[in-house]
A = this chain, B = another copy of it.
Amino acid sequence: MIRFECDYTEGAHERIIKRLMQTNEEQTAGYGLDDHCEKARTYIRTACRAENADIHFLVGGTQTNTTIIASILRPHQGAVAAITGHIAVHETGAIEATGHKVLTLPSDDGKIQAHQVKELYDAHWNDVTHEHMVQPGLVYISHPTENGTTYSKAELAALSKVCRECGLPLVIDGARLGYGLAAAGSDLSLPDIAGLCDVFYIGGTKVGALLGEAVVITNDALKKDFRYMIKQNGGMLAKGRLLGIQFETLFEDGLYYEISKHAVNMAMIIREAFAEKGFSFRYNSMTNQQFPILPNEVLSILGEKYSYSFWEKVDAKHSAVRFCTSWATKKENVEMLVNDIKALR
């Protein structure tokens, strides 16, 4: 069985594993204060063109979102997010567990638009009973989204503008950020992202690392005491070097971009194969996740050799499913899948 169900089926990029081996006997300070973390911070600041950004390394996505959001909000405030957003759906209520409501906006493709935020903000403040409702306190988006879609530079700039006008920090979940930056047709760079939001994170777990997410805080007002928040939320590893070494490897010479590009290339090959066969897609994704809508018999045939994720039922005879590639996807596996798609009747 060849796994296309998600983008975390293998270990880490081999250069990371090698680096772990090479550095294994070094004695370092704990809790993210070692030289590897320091180097990784420097590389990331450079990559973001954000000299003054604070960089922190955390363990996983749920923890990172929770730590960032809990650090920013006051008790009566909530996080505005797409109804499909990871924090709204797939984190077992971790945000609520810190006391905050997720204020959801409708979205079909995972994205939210500037005007939606403005309307929600205005609706709150224009309501005479606003003190009886959760106050919007920040805006959370994912880039790329959980559905593989991406924001254009213009869209992100518009969101950023509205957020700043409303005094709402803009937080970007970059669990798959590499795949968003490498997306076909994307005009957004890492410095663009750093410049347009207040806090974001660069996902490692799904892009070459064993685990780890790099938080980048560009808004000075949100930097204070963040390490306390990391500790309280269980993200301060005794052996913080494990995270530093990985991000050092990913960012010292562009490995992060290179392997992200590979994953997107592999996804585009799969996409074309489905498209040529006449299948449509649930979302218009140019990233590593593809969501073809397939007849049940096709799912059955492909399911014999390949694992994929069920996404949603479309009608009695069709379902949308997810095929994921990653930095680790092997070209020969993609070719085999493509041939099997071509061979479908």
Chain A residues with CB under 8 Å of chain B are 2-3, 6, 8-12, 14, 17, 20-21, 23-31, 59-63, 66, 70-71, 74-76, 78, 89-94, 96-102, 128-129, 131-135, 205-206, 210-211, 225, 227-229, 231-239, 241-242, 310, 328
Contact = CB atoms under 8 A, between A and B. Distances in A.
A231 B62 contact: yes
A234 B66 contact: yes
A78 B232 CA distance: 13
B30 A10 contact: no
Contact of A90 (B23, B29, B59, B129): B129
Given A8-B238, A74-B225, A101-B102, 7 more contacts: A75-B97, A78-B93, A91-B231, A93-B99, A93-B101, A93-B134, A99-B99
A93 B100 contact: yes
30 contacts: A8-B238, A9-B28, A9-B30, A10-B27, A11-B25, A14-B24, A17-B20, A31-B131, A59-B60, A61-B238, A62-B234, A62-B236, A75-B97, A75-B229, A76-B232, A90-B132, A92-B132, A92-B133, A92-B134, A92-B228, A93-B100, A94-B231, A96-B101, A99-B99, A128-B310, A131-B231, A205-B239, A210-B242, A211-B238, A233-B234
A206 B239 CA distance: 9
Nearest to A209: B239
A63 to B, nearest CB: 3
Main secondary structure on chain A at its contact with chain B? Answer: loop
B225 A237 contact: no
Nearest to A104: B104
The quantity of this chain's copies bound in the complex is: 4
B6 A30 contact: yes
A95 B272 CA distance: 47
Nearest to A62: B234
A92 B78 CA distance: 10
A90 B127 CA distance: 11
Given A78-B93, A93-B134, A8 B234 contact: no
Given A24-B12, A237-B60, A231 B132 contact: yes
A298 B229 CA distance: 37
